[in-house]
Amino acid sequence: MNKSLEKTLQDADVSLSVLQALADNSFDSVLVTDATKAGKIIYANKSFSKLTGYTQSEVIGKTPRILQGPATDKKVVGRLREALMEGKKFEGKAINYKKNGTPFIMYWRVVPARVGKDTKVWIAIQREGVAVE
């Protein structure tokens, strides 16, 4: 991050406002989970709802596993789980399911938000890939 933005973000109110504007208005889907082993969703933006059909209030407290189903590649999910356990970022794609059951290819980039060495939350930036036949 550049110094001028870092300085601006030192004010907690400004920091929150910038974060909200960025996440709420992103064209990509944004999910934030807590840093517990369960990984419960604490934030989902409008693009997530548009992509998956789940409302924001419907997914708060649940885990992103609700998007998985029979055709989800277990190897990819396993690699993601290992990355999370090691506190590392992960990029991958797998078949996920919308609320109405329609399968689609989900691309994610999952990154830890850290303070020092502590992961405070996990953030996923998500996007739909080519349609599944």
Ligand X SMILES: Cc1cc2nc3c(=O)[nH]c(=O)nc-3n(C[C@H](O)[C@H](O)[C@H](O)COP(=O)(O)O)c2cc1C
How far is the C-alpha of 6 from the C-alpha of 39, rounded, in Å?
28
Contact 83, 110 (CB under 8 A): yes
Closest distance of CB 21 from ligand X, Å: 20
- Pick one of 50, 65, 114, 120: the residue that binds ligand X (CB under 6 A): 65
- Pick one of 31, 44, 51, 59: the residue that binds ligand X (CB under 6 A): 31
Q: Per the structure block, which two tokens stand in for 20?
A: 């909200």
SS3 95: strand
- Residue 23 vs 39, nearer CB to ligand X: 39
| Residue 68 interacting with ligand X (CB under 6 A) | yes
| Residue 84 interacting with ligand X (CB under 6 A) | yes
